[in-house]
Amino acid sequence: MAEIVIVPDAADAGALVADEIVRIVRANPETVLGLATGSTPLPVYEALRPRIAGVDVSRVRGFALDEYVGIDPAHPESYRSVITREVVEPLGLDPARIRVPNGSLEGIEHAGADYEAAIETAGGVDLQILGIGTDGHIGFNEPGSSFASLTRVKTLTAQTREDNARFFPSIDDVPMHCITQGLGTILRARHLVLLAFGEGKAAAVAGAVEGPLSASVPGSAIQLHPHATVVVDEAAASRL
């Protein structure tokens, strides 16, 4: 059973998770962070800015959960760009130590295995930040994903493309495919921290935390993890 923490708002959640990240980085300057994109983790990154100043982050490593396939890495909405803009630059991380799955078409057939190998070489992820999609996806593991899955190419669902259309000029510009850490990859991280805010996430949170273990709610995989923390506001917790 995951530990549930209900906080007044997203800023409080950000502060809570940022404090924990600072604590582990101070204890281990070679901490490996699992980074997530989407709007949910932004308060964590924001809260980290003042807290991490003065902490040695030169050896911190980071692995992003996912990337769109076929998007130019320089596109402002590629997850490579988002991670650079929201995390690497403001927190002063070493860009050479931050990996994002390679979504370019060239070499896509071995990009998943390469990513798994890189995570393993780094010693595994210490703390994995997670958001959750309205359909219960984590990373880009859409409903139907195997709990044992590793980093691989997936097709985005119509729902996720609609949800993410706000970041693109139109829905037609949202890529069709992605490369994502698998549920099996995510479960190997030593600590999972799943965040969710707002009524729109309440059903996904309830399914992930209290529903049956089911591939139709990929987030329910966190129930298999010995150290998972779910940080939610009242609205996202309203169906628990």
CB of 132 to ligand GLP, least distance (A): 6
Pairwise CA distance, residues 20 & 22, whole Å: 5
Pairwise CA distance, residues 22 & 187, whole Å: 22
Residue of 110, 82, 84 whose CA lies nearest to 97:
84
* Tally of CB atoms within 10 A around 20: 16
If one asks whether residue 185 binds ligand GLP (CB under 6 A), the answer comes out as no
If one asks whether residue 14 binds ligand GLP (CB under 6 A), the answer comes out as no
Q: Are 195 and 158 in contact (CB under 8 A)?
A: no
Active site residue 19: no
- Using the rule CB under 6 A, which residue among 31, 40, 141, 181 binds ligand GLP? 40
> Is the CB of 11 or the CB of 53 nearer to ligand GLP?
11
If one asks whether residue 187 binds ligand GLP (CB under 6 A), the answer comes out as no
Active site residue 210: no
Which of the residues 126, 137, 225, 233 is marked catalytic? 137
Pairwise CA distance, residues 218 & 205, whole Å: 11
Active site residue 135: yes
- Using the rule CB under 6 A, which residue among 34, 43, 139, 182 binds ligand GLP? 139
If one asks whether residue 47 binds ligand GLP (CB under 6 A), the answer comes out as no
Which of the residues 77, 116, 142, 233 is marked catalytic? 142
Tell me the three state secondary structure of residue 39.
Answer: coil
* Tally of CB atoms within 10 A around 198: 16
Pairwise CA distance, residues 118 & 50, whole Å: 30
CB of 69 to ligand GLP, least distance (A): 12
Q: Are 165 and 174 in contact (CB under 8 A)?
A: yes
If one asks whether residue 34 binds ligand GLP (CB under 6 A), the answer comes out as no
Q: Which residues form the interface with ligand GLP (CB under 6 A)?
A: 36-40, 65-66, 131-133, 139-140, 160, 164
Q: Give me the active site residues, please.
A: 66, 135, 137, 142
